Amino acid sequence: MLTRRIIACLDVNAGRVVKGVQFENLRDAGDPAEMASAHSASGADEIVLLDISAAHQGRAILLDSVRRTAAELFIPFTVGGGIRTLEDAQSVFSAGADKISINSAALAHPPLITEVAGRFGSQAVVVAIDAKSCDGLSRWKTFTHGGRISTGRDAIEWAREAESRGAGEILLTSMDRDGTGLGFDCDLTRAVSDSVRIPVIASGGAGGAHHFVDVFRDGHADAALAASIFHYGFSRLVDLKEQLNSEGIPVRWPC
């Protein structure tokens, strides 16, 4: 049985880790390199660093933050934000990333997914989807630029297209649940997970260990990503893994 991954997310703005609620009201949470190192030591399977203002501000990702963070890690490291071209991707990989996450640029120019996958392999390409419920129905629309701009595109259809273009994983964030601590959106996660063959990482809403159990069981997620609960909640990620193991959820144990 495949183990389920626990991923710690670092949302970075101006070189500092921040956290908000539903993409707003950001507060400082610390230095990315220091926090990545702490999460890794605590039992995280992977680290994701997202420069959340790069796309909105129309600038490149802060490579210094990537380099400093990568230097602290011996686990898979994904970086996203401000990656618009194959050359941008190369710069991020050269700075130490193992995978890149693309969102706004992929929606604006879908062939970018194929270009990056063709050069670096599908395993290195994560397509991030920020999704929001549409009229309270079982439909979700995608947003770009840090959740600021609606594309009108159906999230499930876009996930399928991203897979067909070469994406190796989907990073799926529920904008409705982001930072709320109310639990992952299992309906959204399951709808996307059941529509693609590649791994889906659930994001947005974690507030306790039971939420991780729910998204793995009911949401059919392959991995679960969180920020606030790891910054301010669990003192050790291994404690979360112990609870998941007791619920019959297979996890990777820290070395």
**Torsion region of 106: left, alpha or beta (phi above 0 gives left; psi -120 to 50 gives alpha):** alpha
Q: How far apart are CA 99 and CA 127, in angstroms?
A: 10
- The catalytic position among 31, 130, 185, 214 is 130
Question: Pick the catalytic residue: 11, 45, 214, 222?
Answer: 11
93 CB neighbour count, 10 Å cutoff: 18
C-alpha 112/C-alpha 131 separation (Å) is: 20
Find where tokens 């399977």 sit. Answer: 45
185 is catalytic: no
Q: For tokens 């301010």, name the residue.
A: 232
CA 152 to chain centre: 21
* 11 counts as catalytic: yes
To 5 degrees, how large is the angle CA 204–CA 72–CA 33? 55
Q: Which residue numbers are catalytic?
A: 11, 130
